[in-house]
Every structure is written in structure tokens, then in C-alpha cells.
Amino acid sequence: MSDDLISQLKAMLIEGLRLEDIAPDDLSPDAALFGGGLGLDSIDALEIGVMLDRQFGIKITSGDERNNQIFASVRALAEFVADNRSR
């Protein structure tokens, strides 16, 4: 997994979720995306899933028991993308 992928995911999240008050450098790769971290919710998770499908050809289902791990942080998301991307 590369720093380029982490940067790409940060930009995708900020633009796709319209996080207007956050710059990519403000988003730590290891900060929690949900709960006390960035504060995203289940609707945001669905939007991230759609973005990952469009950008990388990755399908994530709501019933996947790995979702808590996949969406734990930008770094965890990048590791998942690096291992599963088809584009």
C-alpha cells in the first residue's frame, strides 16, 4: 500500500462526502472514520462503498463482517483497496 493511495482516498472522502472544513493534511491516516474520530455515520459508509465501487471496482456489502475493520481508518481502507482493487 502506498502513500499515494492514502492521499487519493483522503481526497476522495473529502470531496465525495463534502467535508468542506477538512483538508487532506488534517485527516490522519490512522484516525477513526466513525464514532469519535471523523464522526461519519452509516449513510456515509454507504456513500464510501459506492465511491470505492466506482473508483476501484470494489464491492462491499452491508453484511460483510469485516466492515468494522475495513472502515476503521483511512489506512485500513487503503489496505483493503490495495488488496482488492480491480482497477
Confidence of residue 56 (pLDDT cuts 50, 70, 90): very high
Question: What's the whole-number average pLDDT of the chain?
Answer: 91
pTM of the full structure: 0.88
**Domain 3-84 - what CATH class?**
mainly alpha
CA dist., res. 16 & res. 43, Å (int): 12
Q: What is the pLDDT of residue 70?
A: 93
DSSP 3-state of 4: helix
User: pLDDT for 25-45, tens place per residue?
Assistant: 999 999 999 987 788 998 999
User: Is 80 within 8 Å of 71 (Cβ atoms)?
Assistant: no
- The domain spans of the chain are 3-84
